[in-house]
Amino acid sequence: MTDKRAPLAWDLQNTFFDSFKDQDDLHCSLVAPSPLHNPLMVSSNSSLAVELGLNPESVNDPEMLRLMAGDFSGAQLQPIALVYSGHQFGVWAGQLGDGRAMTLGELPVHNSNSGKSQLWDIQLKGAGATPYSRFADGRAVLRSSIREYLCSEAMHSLGIATTRALCLVTSETPVYREEVESAATVCRVARSHIRFGSFEHFHYRNQPEAVKAMADYAINRHFPEWAEEELRYANLFNHTVTETAKMIAHWQSVGFAHGVMNTDNMSILGDTIDYGPFGFLDVYNPDFICNHSDANGRYSFKNQPSVGLWNLNALATSLMTLLSSETLVTALKTYEPTFLEHYRDLMTAKLGLVQYTDSDENLINQLLTLMEENQVDYSLFFRQLCLFSSDNQSVRDLFVDRDAFDDWAKLYVQRLNQQQMSDNNRSATMLKTNPKYILRNYMAQAAIEKAEQGDYSEVNLLLEVLQSPFEEHPKAEHYARLPPDWAETISVSCSS
């Protein structure tokens, strides 16, 4: 039987542009991409294609390659770039916008659970300059495109709300950064690309009607059941607060550092967006700074929860023409308890505990302090802890101060004995909770170096592994070990 699902370009809508076209270029601008020269498909994400209702083989068709490389000749598309502003490193930066991204349209995807269709943004990143490029070329380089392509899929497979990527294209088009590099594009897929900064932009321009129009669009698209409710704007902000708190709690539980949590990099839906100088923890270090550009450590690993609240306060300020101060403050006060509840539940599960109790706070904090003092690898520890029992405590070998670990382990065993679960069942559950594979920076770097020599096998191997990070992958077993010493020398900045 022939699969007749249509290639990507044939089903796209643009309801965002339709919603705002009577406001000229207030919310977005029509743009035209600049095609890449001699494009080549580096990798395509078959599993995402299936989820979007597409024929995975069509993503590798010459027609699709041409489209993903920014050649829209003959395609009935009206790509747009969105305008937004934002606070960058805590300082108001004014107008920003999609400087190297353009939304091709919105793809209706049938949701089998609800029986309804949901729109997903299809965005091309790196296809050339837009009105918001601020004198830049609008291009993306291969190294940063590989990092986003792999990490967005890794995060999704860890259960974290995120944008995703359908395919990755490289080319012979030169891009001039610190040195000459290859231009690339990533086809990014998201439930929405509306950011905190989308609302800030119009608030600081004193355009309350535009703020309202943006909120109405978000509600009509994502929460149509609220559209006629008096509390629709309060519902939207409450949702953003809750989902942002959950997202960042999940980041903390897996040891992920975003690196550049500016308000223009925060999704109104609480999805992880804009993968630049990110990093996963190797040794547990709450002061970890993954962004070389972050000289003061504003976006260090331990600061992410508080920065999330700071950003939500900035969003609240931009919604003051829609909601009272009392309503906004009430919503903001739910952030910390929501974060703590979700984080505690996640950490409890990582320890193989069925349900969080108040005493577990001390157990978790003692462990993290011990891991910091002994410079223990975060992900490797929790994976090895899955096999912990009274007869198997080999995980203690990760610690220099083994007596201190033994003291903690006694408390841990006492806690485990309080629940009715066998070691085998607990181990099986923990193995589905603690990933064997995360996208460490050195892994991405290995894929980048091979790709820059024309070998894309490592990109595709990592994609396969990161899509099932809890499973065994004999071909990638070396990526489940301690990182090599040279991994510490990798420096990632906002230009990455």
3-state secondary structure of 303: helix
The separation between CA 235 and the C-alpha centre of its own chain, rounded to angstroms, equals 23
The DSSP call for residue 25 is T
Query: What are the contacts of 389-395 at 24+ separation with CB within 8 A?
Result: 389/423, 389/427
Q: Letter for the amino acid at 295?
A: A
In residues, how long is the chain?
496
Residue 357, number of CB atoms within 10 A of its CB: 14
Which strand (E) or helix (H) includes residue 173? strand 164-176
Q: Which of 337, 313, 335 is nearest to 325 (CA)?
A: 313
Q: Where are the alpha helices (DSSP H) in 285-355?
A: 304-318, 325-332, 335-350
Q: What angle do CA 377, 381, 385 make, to 5 degrees?
A: 175
Query: What is the C-alpha separation between 9 and 315, in angstroms, rounded?
Result: 34
**Alpha-carbon distances of 87 from 158, 201, 207, 264, 310, rounded to whole Å:** 29, 10, 18, 7, 10
First to last CA, the chain: 44
H and E: helices and strands count for the chain: 16, 12
- Write out 185-208 in H/E/C secondary structure: EEEEEECCCCEHHHHHHHHHCCCH
What are the two backbone dihedrals, phi and then psi, of residue 119, each rounded to the nearest 5 degrees?
Answer: -85, 135
264 is catalytic: yes
User: Directed axis angle between helix 335-350 and helix 232-254, to 10°?
Assistant: 30
The two three-digit tokens of residue 359, written as one number: 């005493």
- Report whether 210 contacts 26 (CB < 8 A): yes
The two three-digit tokens of residue 326, written as one number: 């009392």
- Report whether 202 contacts 196 (CB < 8 A): no
Catalytic residue, from 98, 264, 271, 274: name it: 264
User: 110 has which bridge partners?
Assistant: 117
DSSP one-letter string for 48-89: HHHHTT--GGGGGSHHHHHHHTT--TT-----EEE--EEEET
- Report whether 107 contacts 122 (CB < 8 A): yes
Q: Which residues have a catalytic role annotated? A: 264
